[in-house]
Amino acid sequence: MVKQIFISPSSASFELDQTSCYYAPQIFDIYLNDELLRTEDRNVFSIYGLLPDTEYVLRVRNLNMDEALVFRTELVSVTLNVQDFYALGDGKHNDTGAIQAALFACPKGGRVVVPSGTYLVTALFLKSDIRLEIERGAVLLGETDRHQYPVLPGRILMEDGEEMYLGTWEGEPDDLFASMITGIRVENVKVYGEGILDENAQNSDWWVDHKVKRVARRPKGIFLNHCRDVSFQGITVKNTPSWNQHPFFCSDISYIDLLLTSPTDSPTTDGCDPESCKGVNIIGCRISVGDDCIAIKSGKAEFGKKFRTPSEQITVRNCLMEFGHGGVTLGSEMSGGVKDIFVTQCIFRDTDRGLRIKTRRGRGNTAVIDGITFENIEMERVLAPLTINMFYKAGSEAYVAEHFDRSPMPVDETTPYLGHFTFRSLKVSDAQWGAGYFLGLPEQPIESIEIENVVFEMAEKAEEGVIIMTPENPKACRQGLYFENVNHVCLTNVNVDGAKGDKFIFCNVQDKKITAAPNDAEGSEHV
């Protein structure tokens, strides 16, 4: 079975109803209107070059099915070509003003097209109810001089005395350079095509002394602030100054069949970081970056306590994550909470960690993470597949001794809570540091961890490494599953092949249930 997951005036994306991770079980043929279009090997695929308001018949063959799907492209009220607004596309002339004029001139239901060419730009601002098409061969190239970019102020005092936040950095209000694509309170927008957003950070000073704030904080690749119903499909976004995708207090946001990439040594170039967002779909994307591939956040203490807005109802499906610090990370800025996250049919390849949860005392009692499910995931050469750390030491934050004291502290308004975590049908090969490390607070243990039908295969030639980031930075090599300060642990058909020492290690675990595990399943109990 094949289903449509995205439609625009000239493109469409589809997803196979298969259980395989990212790649289809075998190569298959795509026919459009009974003509062979191409062969494909991924579960999520896209078609381009379609006509607006036109009906098509898609047929998929060679997967033990011959199924037809009828779909219709979107109607547009008008098509505006940016070259008609004097965008030159020569890679030398700054085309920001011309492209921005086309965007602002476009009426409701219209389409702005960026044809083949290299367009030097700084920041472009989206408008509600339009479509932005970046065609194959089109490159939006980032200006390297930061002084050419507008700045979004972190705080603005409104007439009624309330504060408005335009810029944000690592969970707090801060002046921020506007991004190449910026959306402020827009809705019903689609950005799509086979074009490239090359933010050009490698040729600028964005990655030089990156922790130093100069004028304002580094721009994101694409930044959405309080937007609704915005979708991105097909485009490549690369070499971003900081995070690649950052939706902030948004709802109904989709990322379909994107390529998000930056060099593996580029600083804090996360792939996609939803912050205090509801209803986010990340489907069919390939992410290879210098930091976490996906990091789900909800602000530090101020935003969390004031707005109490979690990131929730987020689906990550049929994605390939490579070379990041974490495949899917929650936190560490999560004072508003994170809940109802479902990750499935993904491949994590050569990432430092698979699931990575980071929090600590001080994030607040609104910092609740609950309802997290990882199912049908392949992890290849992931150093530490599963880590949950409630003593996370962030490098940029001031050290507070009380946050990291291993003795029980009072449970109060500063204490975060971690609820229920489920991991099913994971295929893990060539892990090195350890299978999993789950560290709760002694006064507020992790509520429950359920692992079912998982075999962790440790690499024969594994190297030692820092499995979680705390002030102590514990190192491990081929360690089994370690649980400390957890109320309930349920292991069903779980094994750790090649572990040094005990496969399961428990410390201050209230209740543990192990079913159909190896002979030494009881592991060891440490006090």
Please give the helix or strand (H or E) that residue 306 lies within, else none: helix 301-307
Which candidate, 316, 210, 219, 201, places its Cα nearest to that of 262?
201
* Of 339, 220, 231, residue with least CA distance to 271: 220
CA proximity to 139, closest of 186, 82, 84: 82
Residues present in the chain in total: 527
Whether 488 sits among the annotated catalytic residues: the reply is: no
Q: Which of 324, 140, 326 is nearest to 235 (CA)?
A: 140
Q: CB of 455 within 8 A of CB of 424?
A: no
Pairing of strands 44-47, 12-16: antiparallel
- Cβ proximity of 157 and 163 under 8 Å: yes
198 an active-site residue? no
Q: Backbone phi, then psi, for 273, in 5-degree steps?
A: -125, 80
Of these residues, 95, 198, 270, 291, which one is catalytic? 291
Q: DSSP readout, 202-253? A: GGSSTTTTTTS-BSBBPP-SEEEES-EEEEEES-EEES-SS-SEEEES-EEE
Question: What's the burial of 34, exposed, middle or buried (CB within 10 Å: 0-12/13-18/19+)?
Answer: exposed
Query: Which residues is 36 bridged to in the sheet?
Result: 31
On the question of a cis peptide bond just before residue 332, with omega within 30 degrees of 0, the verdict is yes
Report the C-alpha dihedral over residues 316, 369, 373, 430, rounded to 10 degrees. 80
Question: Looking at 226, 246, 325, 403, which residue is catalytic?
Answer: 325
SS3 301: helix
What residues act catalytically?
A: 291, 325
